[in-house]
Amino acid sequence: MFVNSLLLHCMKNIVRNTEVISVSLPKNVAQKLERSRKLTGQSRSAYLTSLIENIVEDQRWQRIYRKGEETARTFKITSEEDIDRILHEV
């Protein structure tokens, strides 16, 4: 009885750092996902987490790249020599 009470008390104080979501996929996409996931040996949750993190990181780098292109246009940078020139104009 004491152990059950203690276990229940501890379980109430556990904070989840995950959120359960439900996703509907076309059958062929779900099958591709499952085949690909099995090759990695990861759980569905771990595999999807990895995919999402990779996509978010790719999007971040795309934004950085676009900002670099904008900066290059603004400062008329077309070569490394241009960067060196700008850095030493101070």
Percent of all residues in the chain with a pLDDT value above 90, rounded to a whole number: 68
pLDDT of residue 9: 67
d(CA 11, CA 80): 59
Residue 89: pLDDT band by 50, 70, 90 thresholds? confident
Q: 48 near 40, Cβ under 8 Å?
A: no
pLDDT in tens, 33-63: 999 999 999 999 999 999 999 999 999 999 9
The average confidence (pLDDT) of the chain is: 89
d(CA 42, CA 37): 6
Domain boundaries, the chain: 26-90
For the cut 80, the answer to whether the pLDDT of residue 32 exceeds it is yes
